[in-house]
């Protein structure tokens, strides 16, 4: 006995189920966008980092003078080759970046500038396997999909710390979501490295592997 298929009924069921799915998705707050909206990017101004450099130079000079006075008062003799320079990252470096109204995007040159300052924390939003395969040197891994505000790692990060989130690249949205999570927790110096891991690696900037 052959099974006869009524293609008209089959097509009607398919069309009806598709229509129901589209309507449900349309009114669902967590629905998937049917059309990819053009991403609106708010870039951080270069002046923000230039001002930071000016203030930081003054701060480093002050710290160096205080160290020299302490050395003189204690009558400790040091060789000139051991004198702490202004570029020594062991000096106390206050974070002078201004707070932002919301997480903003930064470009590769800005990310590198913050990286070299030694005052920003890079947070990788990818999963632990991608992180272990390679990441920005010194970055920590907080996967966006498993973000938990009770994570003990967050308790060790001061609220005034400059946070830079990143993921695979400009087509990845995990870094944006992670940045928003940080901002909602009270971190007001949050930036999103738009080019992410792919751009950083392509530029041959410092990287490392492992957890």
We report the CATH number of the domain holding residue 112 as 3.40.250.10
CA–CA separation, 154 vs 190, rounded Å?
14
> For residue range 172-202, what is the model confidence (pLDDT) as tens digits?
899 999 999 999 999 989 999 999 999 999 9
Task: Note the pLDDT of residue 35.
Answer: 46
34 domain residue, yes or no: no
- Which residue segment(s) compose the domain that 147 sits in? 46-208
pTM above the 0.75 mark? no
Task: Note the pLDDT of residue 23.
Answer: 58
Report the chain's C-alpha Rg in angstroms.
Answer: 25
| Overall domain count for the chain | 1
User: Residue 196: left (phi > 0), alpha (psi -120 to 50), or beta?
Assistant: left
15 domain residue, yes or no: no
Contacts of 83 (CB under 8 A, 6+ apart): 68
**Ranges of residues in the chain whose predicted pLDDT is under 70:** 1-7, 10-12, 14, 17-19, 21-39, 47-101
To the nearest 10°, the Cα dihedral for 123, 124, 125, 126?
A: -170
Task: Note the pLDDT of residue 18.
Answer: 66
Tally Cβ neighbours within 10 Å of residue 144. 22
77 domain residue, yes or no: yes
């Amino acid at each position: 006995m052959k099974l006869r298929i009524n293609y008209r009924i089959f097509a009607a069921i398919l069309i009806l189920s598709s229509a129901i799915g589209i309507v449900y998705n349309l009114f669902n707050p967590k629905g998937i966008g049917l059309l990819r909206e053009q991403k609106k990017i708010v870039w951080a101004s270069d002046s923000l980092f230039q001002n930071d450099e000016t203030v930081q130079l003054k701060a480093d000079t002050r710290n160096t003078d205080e160290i020299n006075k302490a050395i003189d008062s204690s009558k400790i003799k040091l060789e000139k080759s051991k004198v702490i320079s202004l570029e020594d990252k062991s000096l106390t470096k206050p974070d002078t970046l201004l707070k932002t109204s919301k997480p903003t995007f930064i470009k590769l040159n800005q990310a590198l500038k913050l990286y070299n300052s030694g005052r920003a924390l890079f947070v990788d939003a990818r999963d632990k396997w991608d992180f272990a395969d390679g990441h920005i040197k010194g970055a920590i891994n907080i996967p966006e999909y498993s973000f938990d505000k009770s994570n003990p790692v967050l308790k060790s990060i001061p609220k005034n710390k400059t946070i830079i989130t990143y993921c695979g690249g400009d087509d990845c949205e995990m870094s944006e979501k992670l940045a928003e999570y940080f901002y909602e927790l009270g971190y007001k110096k949050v930036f999103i490295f738009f080019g992410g891991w792919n751009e950083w690696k392509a530029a041959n900037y410092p990287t490392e592997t492992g957890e």
